[in-house]
Amino acid sequence: MARRVKARKGKSDTSARNAGKLIKSQEYTRRALAAYRAGDRSDALKLAEKALRADPTRFEALNLAGMIETQSGDPTRAVRRLEKAWSLAPDYPEIAENLAAAYYADRKLKKAADLYRIVLETWPDRIGAWCNLGNLLNESGESEEACRAYGRALDLKPDFLPALVNLALIEGQSGNGERAAELFRECLRLAPDNGEIHHDFSRLKRFAPGDPDIAAMEDRLQGSKSGTSDRMFFDFALAKAYEDSGDYDRAFDCLVEGNALRRRTVSYDPQEQERRIEKIIETCSSDFLARNDGVGFPSEKPIFIFGMPRSGTSLVEQILASHSTVAGAGELAVLPDTIAGGGSSPKVRGRKKENEFPNNIGSLSEASYPELGRAYVEGLPEKLRDHHRVTDKMPGNYLFAGMIRSILPQAKMIHCRRSPLDTCFSCFSIYFPFGQAFSYDLNDLGRHYRAYHRLMAHWSAVLGDAILDVEYEELIADPEAGARRIIEFSGLPWEDACVNFHETRRQVRTASSMQVRQPIYKTAVRRWKRFEHRLGPLISALGDLADLE
């Protein structure tokens, strides 16, 4: 009987199979790009994954997948994809810029800036890279260098809108109101229907009845599509304009619509926040603090200023930053990043629940606490590290007061408090570019404030006078007494500049950038009273914390 012999595949069969995979990969990549351009990021990512299974070296698919993952909040994975794509295709500056954007999203700011500089050394006509480098420099507190980068972009394209808008913002944040207004007018000439530019300009000026800018925004609002981001920005801008000019009901109507539109774009569960607060209270007990007493990193450099947004944190920082030995760093993400990363490789987005504070406390050894403190100090902006003291006014750092005491026992903590109704309504009246997802619904706001108040009561009980409470209303009633109290608590000698804080020239990148450049004023006290008849859901949610009298 004849023996059956299995045919062996030759080189030609393998080559044909590989060629087929390459063709499949190319087709999947083409379809992925088409889906992305059509706005279907989910399908685009799936097709890019199929392309990479067929050919892991398809750099176009790696680049697309990395872009999508950056935009979808997974920058760590995006970095891996884009680093590989860049190594495979080093002659494509688009890939390098996408990698720099992923580094930025992953809070690797130095890596991002260095990569933009590498791109611009080889391709100096990349307008977007100049602008994005400017954004990075500005966030790092290097506003003069940022302005130069925006200027290079404008040398290449004088009407490049992103650079003009960012320059206008820097000028406004630095107290150069007239120059900022000129730039915003030029931006609006180029893009009169852009709601975000109208909104940014509205934060810079004070409106009076009959202001032609109000009529212009009303016309643009009518022409904007319902439910769009432009519509939302026009709502927030007109709300400010109407309130400035005394039309309070129309102002509130705009706030209702603008906040509703913004609420649809953010994810926030008040119950999850309440559960987290309870977990922090349970974890960071008096026993926890006693165990870690004195084990942290011995640096007195940081001064933490925290509380609810709109509670006076910018004012307190401006007072301190007016001192000759203090640098105001603004709102830094360094502390939450450091705590989440355990002192190394911090991740902001895409964290696993078990690695989030306070769930990660159980995995920390005694040696971790000084390491975390050192990591925080070394993570401060490089240009500020030589200062005797550096302020960090991230409002949400109130969550970490017990950890601050444990990792940086010599650091100062200042808690800013303000009328609950004034605080909450002020949050409701502001568009926040990131974070503060609780602020776009009156019920969410009230519940969030109650949870915050409960945690601060706990810190008061277990930390005592380690935290200085600063009442906003008392500070503006007697600015010098309040400023002296803040400076004394911070262990600094008095300087008269601290009470003349509005004369201090520095960039302030918050919604309070205009207010801190003015002498103390009292018009913001009990501002909520103008809208009391519309604040029922907030008053109900605050319960006994609602300061109605």
At 447, which CATH number? 3.40.50.300
* Domain assignment of residue 350, given as a range: 270-527
Reply yes or no on whether the pLDDT at 217 is more than 70. Answer: yes
Question: How many domains does the chain fold into?
Answer: 1
pLDDT at 192: 94
Q: What is the pLDDT of residue 74?
A: 83
58 within some domain: no
Span 39-67, pLDDT tens digits: 888 899 999 999 999 999 999 999 999 99
Taking the C-alpha atoms of residue 32 and residue 30, their distance in angstroms, rounded to an integer, is 5
Name the maximum alpha-carbon separation found in the chain. Answer: 110
Q: Name the strand (E) or helix (H) holding 14.
A: helix 11-37
Structural domain contains residue 176? no
Alpha carbon 139 to chain centroid distance?
10
pLDDT band at residue 13 using 50, 70 and 90 as cut-offs: low
Looking at the DSSP bridge assignments, the partners of residue 303 are 391, 412
Does the structure show a pLDDT above 70 at 15? Answer: no
**349 pLDDT above the threshold of 80:** no
pLDDT tens digit string along 65-114? 999 998 877 888 999 999 999 999 999 999 999 999 999 888 788 899 99
CB-count exposure of residue 220 (10 Å: 0-12, 13-18, 19+): buried
pLDDT at 72: 79
Q: What is the pLDDT of residues 133-192, one digit of tens each?
A: 999 888 877 888 999 999 999 999 999 999 999 999 999 888 888 999 999 999 999 999
To which residue do tokens 């017990």 refer? 402
* pLDDT for residue 106: 81
Please check whether residue 288 lies inside any domain of the structure. yes
Residue with tokens 């750099």: 59
Give the dihedral of Cα atoms 132, 266, 332, 82; nearest 10 deg: -40
Tens-digit pLDDT profile for residues 409-440: 999 999 999 999 999 999 999 999 878 999 99
Alpha-carbon distance of 98 to 129, in angstroms, equals: 10
Q: Is residue 444 part of a domain?
A: yes
pLDDT digit string, tens, across residues 503-529:
665 455 555 444 544 555 566 789 999
Say if strands 412-417 and 326-328 run parallel, antiparallel, or are unpaired: unpaired
Query: Percent of the chain, pLDDT > 90?
Result: 72
pLDDT tens by residue, 379-401 = 888 778 788 999 999 999 999 99
What's the pLDDT band for 500 if we cut at 50, 70, 90? confident
Confidence label for 17 from pLDDT (cuts 50, 70 and 90): low
Query: How are beta strands 389-392 and 326-328 bridged, if at all?
Result: parallel
What CA–CA distances, in Å, run from 168 to 202, 214, 230, 319?
12, 20, 19, 25
Task: Indicate whether 160 belongs to any domain.
Answer: no
Residue-wise burial string across 351-378, b where 16 or more C-beta atoms lie within 10 A, e elsewhere = beeeeebbebbeebeeebbbbbbbbbbe
Sorted by sequence, the CB contacts under 8 Å of residue 416 that are 6+ apart come out as 305, 306, 307, 308, 311, 312, 313, 316, 470, 472
CB within 8 Å of 418: residues ≥ 6 apart = 307, 308, 310, 311, 312, 471, 472, 473
Residue 152: inside a domain:
no
Coil vs helix vs strand at 192: coil
pLDDT above 70: residue 12: no
Model pTM score: 0.81
Give the CA radius of gyration of the chain. Answer: 26
Q: Using the predicted structure, report yes or no on whether residue 446 has a pLDDT greater than 90.
A: yes
Q: Which of 31-35, 107-111, 119-123, 460-464 has the lowest mean pLDDT?
A: 107-111
Residue 211 token pair: 């202001």
The predicted model gives 315-344 an average pLDDT of 87
The dihedral through the CA atoms of 141, 306, 544, 547 has a sign that is negative
- Which helix or strand (DSSP H or E) is residue 338 part of? helix 334-341
Strands across the sheet containing 467-471: 326-328, 389-392, 302-307, 412-417, 467-471
* Residue range 330-356: mean pLDDT, rounded: 66
Residue 10 in domain: no
Phi, psi of 246 (to 5 degrees): 90, 10
Structural domain contains residue 167: no
Is residue 5 scored above 50 in pLDDT? Answer: no
Q: Per-residue pLDDT for 228 more than 90?
A: no
Residue 347, pLDDT above cutoff 70: no
Q: Quick one: pLDDT band at residue 207, thresholds 50, 70, 90? A: very high
Mean pLDDT of the chain: 89
Evaluate whether 377 touches 302 at the Cβ level (below 8 Å).
Answer: yes
Residues of the chain with pLDDT > 70: what percent? 90
pLDDT recorded at residue 386? 81
